[in-house]
């Protein structure tokens, strides 16, 4: 069977009024906006980066708001979708001071196929506390990352575009970095530091190692070290 390109597929859809497949709709949207899907280059997995790459990307982000978003992602490992739904009251106390522990309620976190999700509590890292202390959040909205209208948070797409441009400006555009990179990087950094999987699962919200293990990545230096022990 001959495979159709996207343009030919869309032409046939228009002529014959065929319902557009969701897959091709997504592909068309990404093509229209010239947006790459970096995880595809890594068999569906976002790249894992180190501290140096994180600093490079952060330097290319111009606004304090998006720098804070990146910091939250880096030091909590939470998904960006949940981070964008944070309210000011989730992060700061009544006196405007950063909280000691950030609570990500189940309702804003990604749900499992069975419809469940767990609330996650993450102690605030000292570097993140510094960023939160310096951040001048808006008192005119409940959202930590409000949209221009202020009645809702910014969209994931807006946040992704900021990350993509910063990544490219940092010279890391071909590395396969996505919004999931911060989560995978945290998991792998904790693993290399010797953190028990049970503790990592408490941070990520995974119920078992079956959900956590796909995040783990072994680099060439670890393989060399293993071989050297033979």
Same domain, 193 and 93: yes
Write down the pLDDT at residue 34: 40
Same domain, 94 and 121: yes
Residue 168 lies in a domain: yes
**Would you say residue 35 has pLDDT above 50?**
no
What CATH number is associated with residue 193? 1.10.443.10
Same domain, 30 and 56: no
Same domain, 117 and 204: yes
Residue 22 lies in a domain: yes
Residues spanned by the domain of 75: 51-210
Number of domains in the chain: 2
* SS3 state of residue 8: helix
Residue 160 lies in a domain: yes
pLDDT band at 10 (very low <50, low <70, confident <90, very high): low
| Three-state secondary structure readout of 116-177 | CCCCEEEECCHHHHHHHHHCCCCCCCCECCECCCCCCECCHHHHHHHHHHHHHHCCCCCCCC
C-alpha span between 16 and 84 (Å, rounded): 40
Write down the pLDDT at residue 134: 96
Same domain, 80 and 157: yes
Would you say 101 and 123 are in contact if contact means Cβ atoms under 8 Å apart? yes
Percent of the chain with pLDDT over 70: 81
pLDDT band at 30 (very low <50, low <70, confident <90, very high): very low
Residue 42 lies in a domain: no
The pLDDT tens digits of the residues spanning 97-111 come to 999 999 998 888 988
| 217 contact partners, CB below 8 Å, separation of at least 6 | 45, 48, 184, 188
Same domain, 27 and 86: no
Residue 1 lies in a domain: no
Same domain, 29 and 108: no
Write down the pLDDT at residue 114: 86
Same domain, 27 and 82: no
- Between 30 and 135, whose confidence is greater? 135
**Would you say residue 22 has pLDDT above 90?**
no
Residue 151 lies in a domain: yes
Residue 142 lies in a domain: yes
Same domain, 72 and 17: no
Same domain, 99 and 205: yes
Residue 136 lies in a domain: yes
The pLDDT tens digits of the residues spanning 172-228 come to 999 999 999 999 999 999 999 999 999 999 999 988 888 888 888 888 888 888 888
Same domain, 26 and 55: no
Same domain, 187 and 161: yes
C-alpha span between 104 and 76 (Å, rounded): 10
Write down the pLDDT at residue 32: 38
């Amino acid at each position: 069977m001959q495979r159709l390109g996207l343009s030919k597929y869309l032409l046939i859809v228009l002529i014959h009024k065929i319902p557009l497949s969701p897959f091709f709709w997504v592909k068309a949207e990404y093509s229209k906006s010239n947006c790459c899907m970096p995880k595809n280059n890594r068999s569906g997995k976002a790249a894992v980066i180190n501290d140096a790459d994180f600093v490079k990307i952060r330097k290319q982000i111009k606004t304090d708001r998006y720098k804070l978003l990146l910091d939250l992602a880096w030091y909590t490992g939470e998904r960006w979708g949940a981070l964008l739904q944070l309210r000011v009251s989730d992060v700061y106390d009544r006196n405007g001071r950063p909280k000691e522990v950030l609570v990500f309620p189940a309702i804003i976190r990604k749900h499992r196929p069975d419809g469940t999700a767990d609330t996650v509590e993450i102690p605030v890292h000292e570097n993140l506390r510094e960023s939160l202390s310096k951040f001048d959040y808006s008192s005119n909205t409940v959202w930590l990352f409000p949209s221009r209208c202020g009645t809702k948070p910014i969209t994931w797409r807006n946040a992704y575009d900021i990350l993509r441009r910063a990544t490219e400006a940092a010279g890391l555009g071909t590395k396969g970095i996505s919004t999931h990179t911060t989560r995978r990087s945290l998991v792998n950094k904790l693993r290399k530091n010797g953190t028990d999987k049970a503790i990592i699962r408490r941070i990520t919200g995974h119920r078992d190692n079956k959900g956590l293990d796909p995040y783990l990545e072994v680099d060439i230096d670890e393989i060399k070290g293993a071989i050297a022990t033979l």
